Chain A
Amino acid sequence: MTVSHVVRGPLNLEQLVARVAAPDRGATASFVGTVRAGPDDGPVVRIEYTAYEEMLDEEFDRITAETEARWPGAAVAAQHRLGSVPLGDASIAIAVAAPHRAAALDACRYVIEQAKHRLPVWKREILADGATVWRDNDGGRVPAEGPGTVEP
């Protein structure tokens, strides 16, 4: 790992794009995921992201290496924001440059899908009334202060 994938302030996609730019890479694809509140989410005021940070960096390195091996000539730069993230701000940013557009787009899609399934990151919604809710990528919601309903 040469550069950490963890950021605690606003993400900067331009920096990631610049990092993967090269004369032989004619196509750059990017993905930015932003914090949102859906119609059923209630009055979410912010989301707090936490992670197993050492593994997050290593897992992102593995995803990057897999991607660059699968799409020869591609380069990946990606970061995940942790801490308190306001609605509308980016929580993840990915830039992939490749010799041609098909590889760049396919590789970028691969990186975000793998990130969603593999990165050890958790988010807790902070509601307007002060309640907190753990939220996962499958749509599950568990009250953070509840009696404990983790299935055996």
Chain B
Amino acid sequence: MHAIRVRCRLFARYAEVTGEVVVEVDVPAPATVADAIAALRARLAEGHRLPARPLVARNRAHALLTDPVSDGDELALLPPLAGG
């Protein structure tokens, strides 16, 4: 079983509560967005302060928690949006 390395980016309040902006996590293949987020929450000391089901983007496009992730993907955890 090989591992998938995912680059996770944290923004705004999520960066503030965790003290991190970029974290790489490894998850066993095959894996979903939700698996990577679970690994991220477990990895960080303050990971429990991130929602288990956040709004998320994969490779700069909105994604579902059930979407698959591939090695080298970039996931972004998006706090509630406030543009406009």
Asked if residues A138 and B80 are in contact (CB atoms below 8 Å), the reply is: yes
Chain B residues with Cβ below 8 Å from A71 are: none
Asked if residues B51 and A120 are in contact (CB atoms below 8 Å), the reply is: no
Which residue on B lies nearest to A142, using beta carbons? B13
Contacting residue for A58 out of B52, B60, B78, B80, CB 8 A: B60
Dominant SS among interface residues on chain A: mixed
Chain B residues with Cβ below 8 Å from A112 are: 84
How many residues on the A side are at the interface (Cβ–Cβ under 8 A)? Answer: 37
Asked if residues B16 and A80 are in contact (CB atoms below 8 Å), the reply is: no
Given contacts A122-B13, A150-B51, contact A52 B80 (CB under 8 A): no
How many residues on the B side are at the interface (Cβ–Cβ under 8 A)? Answer: 25
Contacting residue for A148 out of B9, B17, B78, B79, CB 8 A: B17
Asked if residues B81 and A121 are in contact (CB atoms below 8 Å), the reply is: yes
Asked if residues B82 and A137 are in contact (CB atoms below 8 Å), the reply is: yes
Choose among B9, B46, B60, B81 the residue with the greatest number of A CB atoms under 10 Å from its CB. B81
Asked if residues B49 and A120 are in contact (CB atoms below 8 Å), the reply is: no
Asked if residues A59 and B61 are in contact (CB atoms below 8 Å), the reply is: yes
B binding-site residues for A, Cβ under 8 Å: 9, 11-14, 16-17, 46, 48-52, 57, 60-62, 76, 78-84
Q: List 9 A-B contacts (CB under 8 A).
A: A54-B60, A56-B83, A58-B60, A116-B81, A118-B81, A119-B84, A120-B81, A122-B11, A152-B52
